[in-house]
Amino acid sequence: VGSLEARVRQAEEQHRLPREAITALLAAPEAEKSLAAAADRVRRAFVGDGVHLRGLIEFSNICRQDCMYCGLRRENGKVKRYRLSADTIVELARKAKGYGYQTVVLQSGEDIYFTAERLAAIVRRIKALDLAVTLSVGERSYEEYALWRAAGADRYLLRIETTDEVVYERWDPGMAYANRVRCLRDLRALGYEVGTGTLVGLPGQSLASIADDILFYQRIDADMVGIGPLIPNPDTPLGKAAPGDFHLTRRMVSLLRLLLPEANIPATTAMETMVPHGRELILASGANVVMPNVTEGDPRRNYALYPGKVCVADTPAACRSCMSGRIRAMGRFVAKDKGFRHHRQHGG
């Protein structure tokens, strides 16, 4: 335990750790509290007490891919498919602005009805509302990403899921790990703030590979890292898999904060789904972002990645006041700015 504590201190002071030390801390439930406490201090020092709320618009659950864990996979005949119109998406963004959100996240399955031009037009309309726009619509070409960037999109979320190429290609059949990495590189080159992350608990994923994920995020200097445990969906091939470990995920969040001190790190819905008030625990363990859902009505229910997703029965307005109350109760506050990544001052 003594040497683990020394590693936590080293991470807090230097923001660097060798792979073996990261793996050892991921494996150590006994280090979880001190990891979280150190991550909470680093979070406060580097990104402050503000929690950024991003309004999540789930605008289509139609997907051409077949990821083995995801309820939106094309082979799943049980999900009721929907696609919101451009007007509805812009209207939800306008409402998000009314709730006080400064950013909207447009997320969907890989729905190619939304050609680059169609989505660019929507981005332009939302940018006219003075909102930051994050896109999370999967793998596309450099040219498509470039068009959206030119339309004003600020950020892009594309989880690498796992940096173990073999595990990645087993659970995302038909998708190539190299293309996922190519997408992240293209997004960076185009000047997006780049968000990525890990799906914790994919069968075959090792702790050493999770340590590699963290080192990968350091190497690409990820602006945002969103991680969550696998929640098995019975309507998918991974329906009988063991769920991802909440506590391992929490240790990973804390390590991410220690090793990428400036990054935006969300407390994800999957964490709350696994453990009541899981989001608060994660906000106190290094995270500084929450993504409340602003999708309304049937689509809110039908964007069913996994069963038991929290807050699907609530209205977006109720989510807003619930989240801000919970944030204030922690002694934190809802940030008023758009929440771009903090950059360390150099040379001063």
Which residues here bind ligand SF4, judged by CB under 6 A? 63, 65, 67, 70, 72-73, 109-110, 138
Q: How far is the CB of 205 from ligand SAM (least distance, A)?
A: 12
d(CA 171, CA 203): 9
- E strands of the chain, at which residues? 50-60, 103-108, 132-136, 155-157, 193-196, 199-200, 224-225, 228-229, 289-290, 333-334
Answer yes or no: are the C-beta atoms of 211 and 251 closer than 8 Å: no
Nearest residue (CB) to ligand SF4, 12 versus 161 = 161
Q: How far is the CB of 161 from ligand SF4 (least distance, A)?
A: 8
Q: How far is the CB of 101 from ligand SF4 (least distance, A)?
A: 23
Q: Is 199 in the site for ligand SAM (CB under 6 A)?
A: yes
> Which residue in this structure is represented by tokens 């230097």?
14
Which is nearest to 38 in space by CA: 254, 332, 267? 254
Q: Is 70 in the site for ligand SAM (CB under 6 A)?
A: yes
The phi and psi torsions of 178 (rounded to 5 degrees) equal: -60, -35
The entry of ligand SF4, ligand SAM, none that residue 22 binds, CB within 5 to 8 Å by partner kind: none
The phi and psi torsions of 187 (rounded to 5 degrees) equal: -60, -40
Q: Is 194 in the site for ligand SAM (CB under 6 A)?
A: no
Q: How far is the CB of 318 from ligand SAM (least distance, A)?
A: 23
Structure tokens at 298: 């049937």
Q: Is 156 in the site for ligand SAM (CB under 6 A)?
A: no
Answer yes or no: are the C-beta atoms of 78 and 235 closer than 8 Å: yes
Identified binder of ligand SAM from the candidate list 26, 267, 270, 304, rule CB under 6 A: 270
The entry of ligand SAM, ligand SF4, none that residue 270 binds, CB within 5 to 8 Å by partner kind: ligand SAM
Sorted by sequence, the CB contacts under 8 Å of residue 20 that are 6+ apart come out as none
Identified binder of ligand SAM from the candidate list 55, 195, 228, 266, rule CB under 6 A: 228
Q: Which residues bind ligand SAM (CB under 6 A)?
A: 69-70, 72, 107, 109-110, 136, 138, 158-159, 161, 199, 228, 230-231, 233, 270, 305-306
